[in-house]
Amino acid sequence: MLNYVSRNDSIREESQPVTPERETDRELSELERESVEYFVSFAQMMGFPKSIGQIYGLLFMSFEPIPVDVVIEKLGISKGSASQGLNLLRDLGAVKALHRDGDRRGFFQADFDVTRIVRHFLDEKLLPRLTNGEDRLARMQSIAKATGLENSVQEVAEVRLQALQKWQNRGRRLLPLIRRFFRL
């Protein structure tokens, strides 16, 4: 949390005790640690990698925007993970990129509304699976109807596919229900 000033190591030559850059600023506070764990679990539920949850969890509990290098140090993750993770989060709209005058680094701030993340999950993860299931089911139904199967077998297959269809339909109808429920 708090204040991440650009560290122009070159200028400050072991002089003033200017906000002496306490070691703890580079470590997670108890609150940050809990937030990180909370969102790691959440991210995994949504099918995102751990690092995404870590980054969002950190930003969520950060009092002000954080530059990438601080994200890296605090979470102990690599430059690559941080860069990719932040870009993904930005694309999801879960995180906003800002910049500050006199600082070349990009800063990031969490969007505290998880709406976009949930919507992305529904649209990009759940919906495709549902659709995929519908396609496959339709294909099975046409195979079952096609000639070439014993009558008894065909009948059994059709009964089962019908039962499956019922569930598939329920799943499909659940989606808008969830959307309405979460108002998104």
Partner DNA sequence: TCTAAAGTTCATTTCTATTTGAACATTCCG
Partner DNA sequence: CGGAATGTTCAAATAGAAATGAACTTTAGA
Q: Which residues bind DNA (CB under 7 A)?
A: 6, 10, 47-52, 67-69, 76-81, 83-87, 102-106
Residue 163 binding partner per list its own copies, DNA, none, with a CB distance cut-off of 5 to 8 Å that depends on partner kind? its own copies
CB of 11 to its own copies, least distance (A): 28
Q: In what side-by-side order are the strands of the sheet with 66-67?
A: 66-67, 106-110, 95-99
Binding mask 37-56 for its own copies (x = CB under 8 A): xx--xx--x-----------
Give the Cβ contact number of residue 17 at 10 Å: 5
Contact 95, 110 (CB under 8 A): yes
Residue 34 binding partner per list DNA, its own copies, none, with a CB distance cut-off of 5 to 8 Å that depends on partner kind? its own copies
Closer by beta carbon to its own copies, 8 or else 112: 112
Spatial separation of the C-alpha atoms in residues 22 and 18, rounded to whole Å? 11
Distances 147 to 74, 137, 150, 151 between C-alpha atoms, Å: 64, 18, 8, 9
How many residues bind its own copies (CB under 8 A)? The answer is 41
Binding mask 4-43 for its own copies (x = CB under 8 A): --------------------------xx--xx-xx--xx-
Q: CA end-to-end span of the chain, whole Å?
A: 31
- Give SS3 for 8: coil
Cβ-count burial of 171 within 10 angstroms (0-12 exposed, 13-18 middle, 19+ buried)? middle
Spatial separation of the C-alpha atoms in residues 139 and 133, rounded to whole Å? 10
Q: Does 127 bind its own copies (CB under 8 A)?
A: no
CB of 90 to its own copies, least distance (A): 19
Residues that bind its own copies (CB under 8 A): 1-2, 30-31, 34-35, 37-38, 41-42, 45, 60-61, 63, 112-114, 129, 132-133, 136-137, 139-140, 143-144, 152-153, 156-157, 160, 163-164, 167, 170, 173-174, 177-178, 181-182
